Amino acid sequence: MNKILIIIRKLFGSNKKLPDEYLVPNPYEVPMHVQKDKNNCTSHAIAQIFEYKLSAYFKEKVLIDVDDLWEKQKKYGTVTEEGDSWQDAWNIADEYGMLFNTESGKKGLFRPTKGIEMI
Each domain of the chain, given as residue ranges in start order, spans 39-119
- Check: CB of residue 71 under 8 Å from CB of residue 39: no
pLDDT at 16 over 70: no
In percent, how much of the chain has pLDDT > 90?
55
If you average pLDDT over every residue of the chain, what do you get?
A: 87
What confidence category does residue 21 fall into, taking pLDDT thresholds of 50, 70 and 90?
confident
Instruction: Average the pLDDT over 35-59 and give the result.
Output: 91
Rounded (10°) angle between helices 86-96 and 66-76:
100
More confident residue, 23 or 3: 23
Per-residue confidence band for 17, with pLDDT thresholds at 50, 70 and 90? confident
What is the Cα–Cα distance from 38 to 112, expressed in whole angstroms? 24
Q: How many angstroms separate the Cα of 117 from the Cα of each of 55, 98, 108, 114? A: 15, 10, 5, 9
Q: Please, which residues have CB within 8 angstroms of residue 100's CB and are 6 or more apart in sequence? A: 50, 51, 54, 62, 63, 64, 65, 107, 108, 109, 110
4 pLDDT band (50/70/90 cuts)? low
